[in-house]
Amino acid sequence: MKNHEEKLKKTAKRLGLTPDQIPRNIAIIMDGNGRWARKKGLPRVEGHRQGGKTVETIALRCVDFGIESLTLYSFSIENWKRPKTEVNALMHLYIQYLIEIRPMLMKNNVKLIHLGRLSGLPDAVQNELGKTMEITGVNTGMILALALNYGGRTEIVDATQKIAQEYKSGKLQLGDIDEQCISRHLYTAGLAEPDLLIRTANEMRISNFLLWQISYSEFYVTKTFWPDFKKAALEKAILTYAKRARRFGTIK
Protein backbone atom coordinates (compact mmCIF):
# COMPACT_ATOMS: atom_id res chain seq x y z
CA MET A 1 0.00 0.00 0.00
CA LYS A 2 2.88 2.34 0.77
CA ASN A 3 4.18 1.81 -2.76
CA HIS A 4 0.76 2.74 -4.19
CA GLU A 5 0.76 5.96 -2.18
CA GLU A 6 4.25 6.96 -3.27
CA LYS A 7 3.40 6.42 -6.94
CA LEU A 8 0.09 8.26 -6.55
CA LYS A 9 1.87 11.26 -5.08
CA LYS A 10 4.35 11.36 -7.97
CA THR A 11 1.53 11.02 -10.53
CA ALA A 12 -0.53 13.71 -8.83
CA LYS A 13 2.41 16.12 -8.76
CA ARG A 14 3.18 15.50 -12.43
CA LEU A 15 -0.47 16.10 -13.44
CA GLY A 16 -0.93 19.08 -11.16
CA LEU A 17 -3.41 17.28 -8.93
CA THR A 18 -3.68 16.09 -5.34
CA PRO A 19 -3.53 12.33 -4.64
CA ASP A 20 -7.20 12.21 -3.66
CA GLN A 21 -8.15 13.50 -7.14
CA ILE A 22 -6.77 10.36 -8.77
CA PRO A 23 -8.97 7.26 -9.04
CA ARG A 24 -7.57 4.37 -7.03
CA ASN A 25 -9.63 1.76 -8.87
CA ILE A 26 -10.33 1.89 -12.61
CA ALA A 27 -12.55 -0.29 -14.82
CA ILE A 28 -12.49 -0.22 -18.61
CA ILE A 29 -14.93 -1.47 -21.23
CA MET A 30 -12.48 -2.12 -24.04
CA ASP A 31 -14.36 -1.47 -27.27
CA GLY A 32 -13.51 -0.85 -30.91
CA ASN A 33 -11.01 -3.60 -31.78
CA GLY A 34 -13.01 -4.75 -34.78
CA ARG A 35 -13.69 -1.24 -36.04
CA TRP A 36 -10.02 -0.34 -35.62
CA ALA A 37 -9.08 -3.31 -37.82
CA ARG A 38 -11.76 -2.58 -40.44
CA LYS A 39 -10.64 1.03 -40.68
CA LYS A 40 -7.14 -0.19 -41.49
CA GLY A 41 -8.31 -2.89 -43.90
CA LEU A 42 -7.22 -5.68 -41.54
CA PRO A 43 -9.02 -8.83 -40.32
CA ARG A 44 -10.95 -8.35 -37.05
CA VAL A 45 -8.60 -10.73 -35.26
CA GLU A 46 -5.76 -8.27 -35.84
CA GLY A 47 -7.76 -5.68 -33.94
CA HIS A 48 -8.07 -8.09 -31.03
CA ARG A 49 -4.36 -8.88 -31.22
CA GLN A 50 -3.47 -5.19 -31.05
CA GLY A 51 -6.03 -4.76 -28.26
CA GLY A 52 -4.12 -7.37 -26.26
CA LYS A 53 -0.94 -5.30 -26.62
CA THR A 54 -2.84 -2.25 -25.39
CA VAL A 55 -3.92 -4.20 -22.31
CA GLU A 56 -0.29 -4.69 -21.35
CA THR A 57 0.56 -1.05 -22.08
CA ILE A 58 -2.30 0.33 -19.99
CA ALA A 59 -1.72 -2.16 -17.17
CA LEU A 60 1.90 -1.00 -16.93
CA ARG A 61 0.85 2.64 -16.95
CA CYS A 62 -1.64 1.98 -14.16
CA VAL A 63 1.11 0.32 -12.12
CA ASP A 64 3.33 3.37 -12.69
CA PHE A 65 0.50 5.73 -11.72
CA GLY A 66 -0.13 3.92 -8.42
CA ILE A 67 -3.56 2.56 -9.34
CA GLU A 68 -4.67 -0.16 -6.91
CA SER A 69 -6.89 -2.18 -9.23
CA LEU A 70 -7.62 -2.29 -12.95
CA THR A 71 -10.68 -4.23 -14.10
CA LEU A 72 -10.98 -5.00 -17.82
CA TYR A 73 -14.12 -6.15 -19.64
CA SER A 74 -12.54 -8.60 -22.03
CA PHE A 75 -15.17 -11.14 -23.15
CA SER A 76 -18.83 -11.07 -22.20
CA ILE A 77 -21.25 -13.97 -22.03
CA GLU A 78 -23.05 -12.34 -24.96
CA ASN A 79 -19.85 -12.45 -27.04
CA TRP A 80 -20.37 -16.19 -27.62
CA LYS A 81 -22.96 -15.11 -30.21
CA ARG A 82 -20.20 -13.82 -32.48
CA PRO A 83 -19.06 -15.90 -35.50
CA LYS A 84 -17.43 -19.14 -34.42
CA THR A 85 -14.22 -18.37 -36.31
CA GLU A 86 -13.81 -15.09 -34.43
CA VAL A 87 -14.56 -16.69 -31.05
CA ASN A 88 -12.06 -19.49 -31.71
CA ALA A 89 -9.41 -16.95 -32.70
CA LEU A 90 -10.11 -14.96 -29.52
CA MET A 91 -9.75 -18.06 -27.32
CA HIS A 92 -6.42 -18.84 -29.00
CA LEU A 93 -5.27 -15.28 -28.31
CA TYR A 94 -6.28 -15.62 -24.64
CA ILE A 95 -4.15 -18.74 -24.31
CA GLN A 96 -1.13 -16.94 -25.80
CA TYR A 97 -1.76 -13.78 -23.80
CA LEU A 98 -2.13 -15.55 -20.45
CA ILE A 99 1.22 -17.25 -20.99
CA GLU A 100 3.13 -14.28 -22.41
CA ILE A 101 1.95 -11.77 -19.81
CA ARG A 102 3.31 -13.72 -16.83
CA PRO A 103 6.83 -12.20 -16.82
CA MET A 104 5.39 -8.67 -16.94
CA LEU A 105 2.98 -9.42 -14.11
CA MET A 106 5.70 -10.91 -11.92
CA LYS A 107 8.21 -8.15 -12.66
CA ASN A 108 5.66 -5.49 -11.68
CA ASN A 109 4.16 -7.31 -8.67
CA VAL A 110 0.72 -7.51 -10.32
CA LYS A 111 -1.86 -10.05 -9.19
CA LEU A 112 -4.26 -11.43 -11.82
CA ILE A 113 -7.78 -12.43 -10.82
CA HIS A 114 -10.68 -13.68 -12.91
CA LEU A 115 -14.24 -12.36 -12.96
CA GLY A 116 -16.90 -14.50 -14.61
CA ARG A 117 -17.82 -18.14 -15.12
CA LEU A 118 -15.00 -20.59 -15.72
CA SER A 119 -17.45 -23.16 -17.01
CA GLY A 120 -17.97 -22.60 -20.71
CA LEU A 121 -14.41 -21.50 -21.36
CA PRO A 122 -12.23 -23.97 -23.32
CA ASP A 123 -10.14 -26.24 -21.12
CA ALA A 124 -6.90 -24.75 -22.43
CA VAL A 125 -8.04 -21.22 -21.50
CA GLN A 126 -9.10 -22.42 -18.04
CA ASN A 127 -5.74 -24.12 -17.53
CA GLU A 128 -3.60 -21.11 -18.51
CA LEU A 129 -5.85 -18.73 -16.59
CA GLY A 130 -5.51 -20.91 -13.50
CA LYS A 131 -1.72 -21.11 -13.86
CA THR A 132 -1.35 -17.35 -14.28
CA MET A 133 -3.54 -16.67 -11.24
CA GLU A 134 -1.60 -19.20 -9.18
CA ILE A 135 1.78 -17.81 -10.23
CA THR A 136 0.79 -14.19 -9.55
CA GLY A 137 -1.19 -15.00 -6.41
CA VAL A 138 1.84 -14.12 -4.28
CA ASN A 139 2.04 -10.60 -5.69
CA THR A 140 0.99 -7.69 -3.48
CA GLY A 141 0.84 -4.79 -5.93
CA MET A 142 -1.87 -3.77 -8.36
CA ILE A 143 -4.74 -6.18 -8.96
CA LEU A 144 -5.55 -6.84 -12.63
CA ALA A 145 -9.09 -8.23 -12.82
CA LEU A 146 -9.93 -9.88 -16.13
CA ALA A 147 -13.66 -10.14 -16.83
CA LEU A 148 -13.71 -13.17 -19.11
CA ASN A 149 -16.98 -15.00 -19.87
CA TYR A 150 -18.58 -12.35 -17.68
CA GLY A 151 -22.06 -10.87 -17.43
CA GLY A 152 -23.34 -8.49 -14.76
CA ARG A 153 -26.79 -10.09 -14.55
CA THR A 154 -25.26 -13.57 -14.47
CA GLU A 155 -23.01 -12.45 -11.62
CA ILE A 156 -26.02 -11.32 -9.60
CA VAL A 157 -27.87 -14.57 -10.36
CA ASP A 158 -24.86 -16.64 -9.26
CA ALA A 159 -24.51 -14.59 -6.07
CA THR A 160 -28.23 -14.96 -5.31
CA GLN A 161 -28.04 -18.72 -5.72
CA LYS A 162 -25.08 -18.94 -3.34
CA ILE A 163 -26.93 -16.85 -0.76
CA ALA A 164 -30.06 -18.98 -1.15
CA GLN A 165 -28.03 -22.15 -0.60
CA GLU A 166 -26.44 -20.73 2.54
CA TYR A 167 -29.83 -19.61 3.83
CA LYS A 168 -31.29 -23.05 3.13
CA SER A 169 -28.43 -24.76 4.99
CA GLY A 170 -28.79 -22.41 7.96
CA LYS A 171 -25.50 -20.61 7.45
CA LEU A 172 -27.37 -17.34 6.84
CA GLN A 173 -30.43 -15.84 8.46
CA LEU A 174 -32.84 -13.58 6.60
CA GLY A 175 -31.54 -10.55 8.50
CA ASP A 176 -27.99 -11.34 7.40
CA ILE A 177 -28.82 -10.63 3.77
CA ASP A 178 -27.90 -7.00 3.15
CA GLU A 179 -25.76 -5.08 0.64
CA GLN A 180 -22.52 -6.26 2.26
CA CYS A 181 -23.71 -9.86 2.12
CA ILE A 182 -24.51 -9.59 -1.58
CA SER A 183 -21.15 -7.94 -2.29
CA ARG A 184 -19.33 -10.79 -0.55
CA HIS A 185 -20.97 -13.30 -2.88
CA LEU A 186 -20.20 -11.50 -6.15
CA TYR A 187 -17.28 -12.44 -8.41
CA THR A 188 -15.64 -9.22 -7.22
CA ALA A 189 -15.68 -10.13 -3.52
CA GLY A 190 -12.76 -8.34 -1.85
CA LEU A 191 -12.15 -6.09 -4.86
CA ALA A 192 -12.75 -2.38 -4.44
CA GLU A 193 -15.55 -0.85 -6.51
CA PRO A 194 -14.38 1.26 -9.47
CA ASP A 195 -13.94 4.97 -8.90
CA LEU A 196 -13.74 5.51 -12.65
CA LEU A 197 -15.33 3.54 -15.51
CA ILE A 198 -13.83 4.20 -18.94
CA ARG A 199 -15.47 3.14 -22.19
CA THR A 200 -13.70 3.43 -25.52
CA ALA A 201 -15.07 3.73 -29.10
CA ASN A 202 -17.73 6.30 -28.11
CA GLU A 203 -20.33 3.73 -27.00
CA MET A 204 -22.87 5.14 -24.52
CA ARG A 205 -23.99 2.02 -22.68
CA ILE A 206 -22.92 -0.23 -19.80
CA SER A 207 -23.28 -3.50 -21.73
CA ASN A 208 -24.04 -5.65 -18.68
CA PHE A 209 -20.76 -4.80 -16.94
CA LEU A 210 -20.38 -4.54 -13.14
CA LEU A 211 -24.06 -3.63 -12.70
CA TRP A 212 -23.83 -3.78 -8.90
CA GLN A 213 -20.36 -2.31 -8.49
CA ILE A 214 -20.60 0.87 -10.59
CA SER A 215 -23.48 2.43 -8.64
CA TYR A 216 -21.33 5.48 -7.83
CA SER A 217 -18.54 5.20 -10.39
CA GLU A 218 -17.71 8.20 -12.54
CA PHE A 219 -18.13 7.51 -16.28
CA TYR A 220 -15.75 8.62 -18.99
CA VAL A 221 -16.41 7.89 -22.68
CA THR A 222 -13.86 8.49 -25.43
CA LYS A 223 -14.09 8.19 -29.22
CA THR A 224 -10.70 6.46 -29.24
CA PHE A 225 -10.76 2.80 -30.29
CA TRP A 226 -9.20 0.50 -27.69
CA PRO A 227 -6.07 -0.38 -29.73
CA ASP A 228 -5.26 3.35 -29.90
CA PHE A 229 -5.88 4.00 -26.19
CA LYS A 230 -2.45 4.93 -24.84
CA LYS A 231 -0.87 6.75 -21.89
CA ALA A 232 -2.07 10.20 -23.00
CA ALA A 233 -5.65 8.92 -23.31
CA LEU A 234 -5.50 7.42 -19.82
CA GLU A 235 -4.14 10.66 -18.39
CA LYS A 236 -6.94 12.61 -20.08
CA ALA A 237 -9.51 10.32 -18.44
CA ILE A 238 -7.87 10.83 -15.05
CA LEU A 239 -7.76 14.61 -15.50
CA THR A 240 -11.46 14.61 -16.40
CA TYR A 241 -12.21 12.50 -13.33
CA ALA A 242 -10.28 14.96 -11.18
CA LYS A 243 -12.75 17.72 -12.08
CA ARG A 244 -15.75 15.72 -10.87
CA ALA A 245 -17.37 16.24 -7.47
CA ARG A 246 -18.27 12.79 -6.13
CA ARG A 247 -21.31 13.36 -3.92
CA PHE A 248 -22.51 9.79 -3.20
CA GLY A 249 -26.03 11.14 -2.77
CA THR A 250 -25.02 14.07 -0.54
CA ILE A 251 -24.77 17.79 -1.23
CA LYS A 252 -21.39 19.50 -1.58
Identify the CA nearest to 186 among candidates 162, 202, 205: 162
CB 30 within 8 A of CB 226: yes
Residue type present at position 165: Q
Grouping H, G, I as helix, E, B as strand and the rest as coil, residue 192 is: coil
Q: Is 109 among the residues known to form the active site? A: no
Which residue type occupies 33?
N
Beta-strand runs (E) in 32-127: 69-76, 111-115
The backbone torsions φ and ψ at residue 72, rounded to the nearest 5 degrees and listed phi first, read -115, 125
Among 3, 33, 79, 88, the active-site one is 79
In the residue annotation, 228 being an active-site residue is answered as no
Beta bridge partners of 114: 146
- How far apart (Å, rounded) are the C-alpha atoms in residues 21 and 12? 8
Catalytic pick from 25, 31, 33, 195? 31
The DSSP result for 16-51, as a single string, is T--GGGS-SEEEEE---HHHHHHHTT--HHHHHHHH
Integer Rg of the chain from CA: 18
Distance CA 73, CA 194 (A): 13
List, by residue number, the catalytic residues: 31, 79
